[in-house]
Structure 1
């Protein structure tokens, strides 16, 4: 079939090649002239069309199909052989195809989108490993014995552990499993008994779900059973288990029967602890670095099976780990904040403060247990979560000037989107921090002595260079009068992504590194700024392990959500490995670091249903049973299709991926959440900022209209002579998109017009 598709059928007769016909007495005449052959090819080619097409179904339109046209390879081949002969024509056609391929590739590299995406991972990537097996064993033992592995998942046999580590985050097994091989692949639970909770609203208060019980913990093993895409689990089913197990289906539970298998939230009973890890607050623990390390005593290579990074020696001396952390049950004293696992949400932002971090902070206030509705936060209240917004004051490749901190606060005060959060009511839970790349890198012991010799802007092995004349202390300081350099490479001078074509790629790469630095230095959880909180994270704080989430269908990490324990062994491994791989913190590369070192279990890859519920459907997966709402692309969050646009107002916040912990809308920084009311709408206490935003919006609209019509646009004035700011429902959009509904819901809570998702009313 392949031959007949590209060569004329006349070249074969009764299964024999034309060249053999002269030996057959009854054969057809043989063309001896090459010109005649070309004429026959041309005649045959004229019977084939230049274009062919395939018909594809259009989702939602069963009666319509999409035609995609392609050039006919048979006609193209016949044309080339007719004009240039069979051999030369085929050779020219081959070179033409190769040239087109490289031309398209070059265009994609030059003009393609700068959105934070990554191509299909290749299996031929070079190795990244720099640690020997004995160091990997130390890392595993440190993390397990510090209570950072509250899971019954198996430890990789490739580590060759001889003895199962003690695990204070697991209860003892009722029966010890028999050994399956020469090496330990399980941990030995020595912790407290777990009691799984049946969480439901009380009959007299079913309007809102209950807050999670302080000190509760999410069992990630159970969540993986119901949500793991690798096990063919649907996001829709996962979200149902998540909301039912957490009591988010308050007063509307229609499932009948026992739901014990859906209980994934538990509390620990400290009185049942059979072993308490000894405190290591003393000066030293000299025996630990060699504690239960398996050494080869038969003369074999102790690192057999490990593939070291080429051109780099094994890390020496053996990895020096901090003292083990004494594991403390989350339910032991919920009001006491764990210094090793502080409840800090980190976000990183570059450029002017906009509606994107504004909504992220509002969603934090609407969902988390901040006690904002109380006149005074009680001393015995749950450990209060905080929101730290790290602001990079200039382009990613610049050093802040000496007055950067003062300038940052002056800009925040003058910014209508940011100024509300400087109100004294929020001072204990919302903190603005200035990011300084040099100071942050120098604050990481694993990096401070060597990072200046590496490339700072390395993403997946693709290095973006900055002009060498701007180099200073490993980062750059852009000169104010260097306009030629600014024109030469505008990417270096961007502060934020104002459109798809001006994506701030350098800040994205910087944030890939910043999230690991922030979690390693300060502890807590990092979230990308295009994230919206959808529920309380109490039981995630109780789970002491490190985690990120899955990159859609790939078994890779997406670090848009990242939890690392402060100064952990895993963190040390990641930083030293990234340093030897030219400071590459792209999540795809981090996936290789952990996989090649058999440490994936220590950085749990949670299903993206928990934080990114629309991702699989936007990549054409699970369309037969999608979650609610059904997005086929991320832009539909901002521009909901007309056929589905009744859902946002009808269902509201409660109908938006109910059960997920957060939603990631994947960039779209330039699209407003509420186009008709693109200003902070927080009530009279914050009216000054609202008026500034309204005035700026009117000026922008007027300028745009004038540029189109060349005529001044009239401004409506009230009888008092002031600009008319009366809101009319006729001016609003008839159908409100999901982004608009969520923004207005969060703002109504701050105005004191409705309670938050747990029924708590904010009173001013």
Structure 2
């Protein structure tokens, strides 16, 4: 007798099948339906199982009722598909206009359409929109505004022949552009040439080659930046026409306006053409389509300063534009360490500061930049004492990392500034009369508020000297207290309040003084001349996300964009977290006025650290940000072999994302700037040394250079990390042992 199956072989086969079906078949079954407009996905719904119904009908009603049940099931499927298809065909924008997203962030908008139009018109008229990008249709401009920051279009097509567009174009009225082929000329090919004074980067071209949203690789972007900027001196291996990679231009002296009625003149349009933005003024609600912040009133009518006609470089007598000061801002809290030290050294190594000249020429065509390092003297929640400025300079002079930059040689290009939150916010007209109402929630990061008790605030107002006189036990407890932290000493003791304060400080500084803000964990990699030439505001992309990272932020002094941001932030709890700022501009359709540049320009390793573009990474290849400080052994030959020239060549800067507690050069964790700064070096060596007897001996003989112990190269780390190589490269320039990246030697 053969092996039996799971059921009794004596049962008829139809009985077995019916039993299996009754016990296993569900009442519903899944059906996949196509989603209109979405080819890559299908909708899965549950419908009545007709097979189960058929058996049920046969059992209870006989087999004559089966066709009726099948018809009912088909009708149910038809209505389900019709309803889903009808909803999907509705314009999703209609839903956004009527209802805020239920699962997303709440709306932040407090300005009406008329005010958003004012912001756009003001920024364009001031020359702050040097782009051919279109104005979103939600702004509702009926006619194209004149744009003095872009050239006239040759042979513009009359509007009646142009294809309908939902967005608004701007009409170029500016000077012609001459794109540059920048290369080192023989025999001076050892170093790249300095950028041409007042040259300008065309961000439309940069976005074309670098935009992550259009699947551009960081590696390819850096090559375009490198070749277009002339940084591939003596190493150009590309052959062929490279006009498409030219992104740096100068404005032509030819400012002759186009003759009326010529091919270069735009057609006059007094009414919107078919397909142009809708005329919102004709609607009952002029703000139709805008989603206002919940439980908030529209802002009163926006008042902006008068528009100053922009002057092109060709028509400007002086090298610097008074409305566009070349100021680099950086914010620092806590003891001065090797982090701001290296940021300042990289600034001197790359920017055209003039320290390679004996005297700065009065008739120079170059606008000399300045670096303003803002020092917050105590904890972020404290109020500076009356002697704060004196105390700040006393601490800078005693710090081996800071004191070198007080040398008279750097007084015209590096300045230390005292940060005072009250004074700075009072200097912003848009918030000076109202910000105190939010003082209890001043530390707002992405809607998460850290409250500072009044008792802690008053306790934090004491001067650094009084804090130093406290007992060591109380000092240790205060350092562990988040409210009284000054600087981040480890990953577990992060100074979060200072980070939140810096989120606001960067917008305050740029709006009040103009210029570019950079986080202190930033290293300059090339001259920023052509970035200064581009008059628009910008930050950069948050890795793969279409959000801002404001570790680099450029804004124009007293701009309409700044007014919008401060008034909007005031109504949203003074929240300046970059993710929140992304919501401000997106809700108001102003994102193109604060251009989100690709992170390849300032943060070239970010995508790789988040597992993107690892199939074609740039050089160097960092899988984690810590690789900058601890280069993996399999890649550790590159730093010494390639040096500074092999570190993300083409990028304007590098952002190493915090790691405040990791030294750049562990085996030589002190400033190494030569005999002029020997006293600070000795002090740092004593601090770094674990040998108490050595420290005591050195302290008694530090006045004599010949008593300074000589270094043994065999005690140095064998495989130097990227952070160490960059630090030692910048220091060698200050010591006078090598030129800077452009072949210029420092002059003392």
- Under a length normalisation based on structure 2, what TM-score does the superposition of the two structures give? 0.79
SS of structure 1 residue aligned to 2:174: coil
Specify which of 482, 494, 518 is matched with residue 485 of structure 2: 494
Q: 1:147 matched to which residue of 2?
A: 127
Are 2:478 and 2:484, in contact at CA under 8 Å, matched by a contact in 1?
Answer: no
Q: 1:19 matched to which residue of 2?
A: none
Q: 2:236 matched to which residue of 1?
A: 253
Q: Offset at 1:324?
A: 1.1
Specify which of 451, 454, 458 is matched with residue 465 of structure 1: 451
SS of structure 1 residue aligned to 2:551: strand
Q: Offset at 1:731?
A: 1.1
Q: Give yes or no for the alignment of 1:655 onto 2:649.
A: no
Quote the Cα distance in structure 1 between the aligned partners of 2:415 and 2:297. Answer: 42
Q: Offset at 1:339?
A: 1.5
Q: Offset at 1:340?
A: 1.3
Quote the Cα distance in structure 2 between the aligned partners of 1:185 and 1:714. Answer: 69
Misfit runs of 4+, over 4 Å:
23-28, 179-184, 293-297, 331-335, 478-489, 712-724
Are 1:270 and 1:329, in contact at CA under 8 Å, matched by a contact in 2?
Answer: no
Q: Offset at 1:337?
A: 1.3
SS of structure 2 residue aligned to 1:650: helix
Q: Give yes or no for the alignment of 1:376 onto 2:359.
A: yes
1:269-293: per-residue Cα shift (whole Å, max 9, x none)? 1332539xxxxxxxxxxxxxxxxx9
Quote the Cα distance in structure 1 between the aligned partners of 2:589 and 2:170. Answer: 16
Are 2:517 and 2:553, in contact at CA under 8 Å, matched by a contact in 1?
Answer: yes
Q: 1:403 matched to which residue of 2?
A: 387
Q: Offset at 1:422?
A: 0.4
Q: Give yes or no for the alignment of 1:578 onto 2:569.
A: yes
Are 2:686 and 2:695, in contact at CA under 8 Å, matched by a contact in 1?
Answer: no
Q: 2:191 matched to which residue of 1?
A: 208
Q: Which runs of 5+ in 2 are unaligned?
A: 1-5, 8-14, 21-100, 259-276
Cα distance change, pair 538–582 in 1 and its aligned pair in 2 (3 A): same
Are 2:226 and 2:650, in contact at CA under 8 Å, matched by a contact in 1?
Answer: yes
Specify which of 197, 208, 224 is matched with residue 207 of structure 2: 224
Q: 2:342 matched to which residue of 1?
A: 359
Q: Offset at 1:645?
A: 0.4
Specify which of 306, 326, 329 is matched with residue 309 of structure 2: 326
Are 2:404 and 2:677, in contact at CA under 8 Å, matched by a contact in 1?
Answer: yes
Within 5 Å, which residues of 2 pair with 1:411-450?
Answer: 411-450=395-434
- Under a length normalisation based on structure 1, what TM-score does the superposition of the two structures give? 0.78
Q: 1:48 matched to which residue of 2?
A: none
Quote the Cα distance in structure 2 between the aligned partners of 1:718 and 1:579. Answer: 53
Q: 2:541 matched to which residue of 1?
A: 550
Q: Which runs of 5+ in 1 are unaligned?
A: 1-12, 15-22, 29-120, 276-292, 704-711
Within 5 Å, which residues of 2 pair with 1:388-399?
Answer: 388-399=372-383
SS of structure 2 residue aligned to 1:270: coil
Q: 1:726 matched to which residue of 2?
A: 710
SS of structure 1 residue aligned to 2:282: coil
Q: Offset at 1:163?
A: 1.3
1:551-570: per-residue Cα shift (whole Å, max 9, x none)? 00000000000000000000
Quote the Cα distance in structure 2 between the aligned partners of 1:233 and 1:424. Answer: 45
Q: 1:314 matched to which residue of 2?
A: 298
Q: Offset at 1:465?
A: 0.7
Identify the range of structure 1 (293-302 vs 604-613) with the bigger mean alpha-carbon deviation.
293-302
Are 1:161 and 1:183, in contact at CA under 8 Å, matched by a contact in 2?
Answer: no
Are 1:672 and 1:678, in contact at CA under 8 Å, matched by a contact in 2?
Answer: yes
Specify which of 521, 533, 549 is matched with residue 530 of structure 1: 521
Q: Offset at 1:154?
A: 1.1
Quote the Cα distance in structure 1 between the aligned partners of 2:397 and 2:193. Answer: 36
Within 5 Å, which residues of 2 pair with 1:499-518?
Answer: 499-518=490-509
SS of structure 2 residue aligned to 1:127: coil
Q: 1:10 matched to which residue of 2?
A: none
Specify which of 113, 117, 127 is matched with residue 133 of structure 1: 113
Cα distance change, pair 331–612 in 1 and its aligned pair in 2 (3 A): farther
Cα distance change, pair 463–341 in 1 and its aligned pair in 2 (3 A): same
Quote the Cα distance in structure 2 between the aligned partners of 1:297 and 1:233. Answer: 40
Cα distance change, pair 493–122 in 1 and its aligned pair in 2 (3 A): farther
Are 1:470 and 1:478, in contact at CA under 8 Å, matched by a contact in 2?
Answer: no
Q: Offset at 1:459?
A: 0.3
Quote the Cα distance in structure 1 between the aligned partners of 2:178 and 2:186. Answer: 23
Cα distance change, pair 27–368 in 1 and its aligned pair in 2 (3 A): closer
1:377-420: per-residue Cα shift (whole Å, max 9, x none)? 01122110000000000000000000000000011001000000
Quote the Cα distance in structure 1 between the aligned partners of 2:476 and 2:725. Answer: 43
Quote the Cα distance in structure 1 between the aligned partners of 2:504 and 2:320. Answer: 26
Quote the Cα distance in structure 1 between the aligned partners of 2:701 and 2:430. Answer: 65
SS of structure 1 residue aligned to 2:254: helix
Q: Give yes or no for the alignment of 1:645 onto 2:628.
A: no
Quote the Cα distance in structure 2 between the aligned partners of 1:323 and 1:719. Answer: 64
